[in-house]
Amino acid sequence: MGGPPVQALLAALGAGGIEARFVGGCVRDWMAGRTVADIDLAVTAPPATVMRALEAAKIKVVPTGLKHGTVTAVAQGQPFELTTLRRDVETDGRRAVVAFTDDWREDAARRDFTFNALYAEADGTIHDYFDGRADLDAGRVRFIGDPDRRIEEDRLRVLRFFRFHAWFGTAPLDEAGFAACRRHAGALDKLSGERVAKELLRLLAASQPAPSLDAMAEAGVLAHWLPEYKGTAHLRELIHREDIPDPLRRLASILSTPAPAVARRLRLSTQQALRLEMMLDPETRVDTENPRVRIYRLGTTLFIDRLLLQPSGDWCAALALARSWTPPELPVSGGDALKLGLKPGPKVGALIEAVERWWIAGDFRADRAACLAELERLARTT
């Protein structure tokens, strides 16, 4: 795990007398044979000491979360989160007040699931305080200690239970964890839409998210945040068709009604909300008999969305075309009409639309010279 940037970081910490271990998702993913994205480390010294050690080694450091013991180091252009060993003093279901500690097991005990509490030393030595390795190998998502207490510390862990099951779990779900999630489902309305959306979209990015979604519905977890949920039958069909998984498109496949209320509730970005609305708009149709026109009108992304959500005709060929063909731009604009002596106004727009219809009818083959000639002809005759 790592490379020259990691070695530089560990050398700087070691020079400062600070013990460091890789922790959390990077260790879990490494042990599962998956690509490691972000690398996090747990360290034995408080943030101020960590910052001094890094600065002494000329490594940039940013105090991203000092009250939680976290700083971000940037070694050779690569960011790393370093967090001091800690224990929870107080929690309210959303955030925790922490105290620093030098006890590795105590730090592990405050984490959510057993396989997220794995630590690795630079030489590959694994420290596993709660049988996380066995759970990872068995595809078992298991809370550390009492599931109810873990959820009371952070209600988002209910969603994380199902998200990690989608990515790492095998049936059946851990009974104690599932029962606790069911008991706490009614309190999820206190979460923020942004946090819920982030977890939901991460879950939907898994290769086979449907079983986890069905389990969430059974536990009542979706009742507040996604009352429009219609089941996973459409999602399962979509997964068989899509070549590139898309979480937002998958979200559309499990909704029973148009999207504005969902987008507002989940605080989706303006771009996400608009795309979701267009995917669920009953008036938006794709035409596989003349797909170039629909790709041009809808745009490649929305055309593919609609094609995969509501396939018709030779949708495989239409999908291949959408992946390989870039819609051209109309070679003329309103400025060209003004150069002909026309005054700004509705007539200019109408002329450009007429040229565009002519150009599309010719399968986009006419070049700028031909389009200008057609614009001039229309300007003379209308």
10 Å Cβ neighbour count for 132? 26
Please check whether residue 117 lies inside any domain of the structure: yes
Please check whether residue 329 lies inside any domain of the structure: no
Instruction: Please return the burial class of 333, using the count of CB atoms within 10 Å of its CB with bins 0-12, 13-18 and 19+.
Output: middle
Q: Which of 278, 316, 322 is nearest to 300 (CA)?
A: 322
Where a domain ends, among 80, 105, 138?
138
| Same structural domain, 249 and 277 | yes
Residue 68: the pLDDT is 86
Please check whether residue 226 lies inside any domain of the structure: yes
Kindly report the CATH number assigned to the domain that includes residue 149: 1.10.3090.10
Where a domain ends, among 118, 138, 158?
138
Where a domain ends, among 122, 138, 154?
138
Angle of helix 47-56 relative to helix 4-15, nearest 10 degrees?
110
Which SS3 state, helix, strand or coil, does residue 34 take? Answer: coil
Name the domain count of the chain. 4
Please check whether residue 36 lies inside any domain of the structure: yes
| Same structural domain, 311 and 183 | no
Residue 296: the pLDDT is 95
Residue type, position 112, single letter: D
Q: What is the CA radius of gyration of the chain?
A: 27
Residue 93: the pLDDT is 58
Sheet of 78-84, strand order: 60-65, 70-75, 78-84, 40-43, 20-23, 118-120, 126-128
Domain that holds residue 315: 291-324
* Buried residues in 189-208 as b, exposed as e (16+ CB within 10 A): eebeeebbbbbbbbbbbbee
Residue 382: the pLDDT is 77
Please check whether residue 14 lies inside any domain of the structure: yes
| Same structural domain, 167 and 231 | yes
Residue 167: the pLDDT is 97
Positive or negative, the Cα torsion across 74, 78, 79, 80?
negative
| Same structural domain, 183 and 220 | yes
- The model's pTM: 0.89
Beta bridge partners of 83: 42, 70
> How high is the mean pLDDT in each 10-residue block of the chain (382 residues)?
87 96 96 93 95 96 89 94 87 72 95 97 95 98 97 96 98 97 96 97 97 98 96 97 94 89 95 94 84 94 94 92 96 95 93 97 96 95 82
Residue 65: the pLDDT is 84
| Same structural domain, 10 and 105 | yes
Kindly report the CATH number assigned to the domain that includes residue 2: 3.30.460.10
Distance of alpha carbon 326 from alpha carbon 369, whole angstroms? 21
| Same structural domain, 7 and 119 | yes
Residue type, position 220, single letter: G
Residue 285: the pLDDT is 78
| Same structural domain, 127 and 2 | yes
| Same structural domain, 1 and 134 | yes
| Same structural domain, 3 and 105 | yes
| Same structural domain, 28 and 51 | yes
Backbone angles phi, psi at 23, to 5 degrees: -150, 155
| Same structural domain, 125 and 14 | yes
| Same structural domain, 254 and 201 | yes
Residue 92: the pLDDT is 60
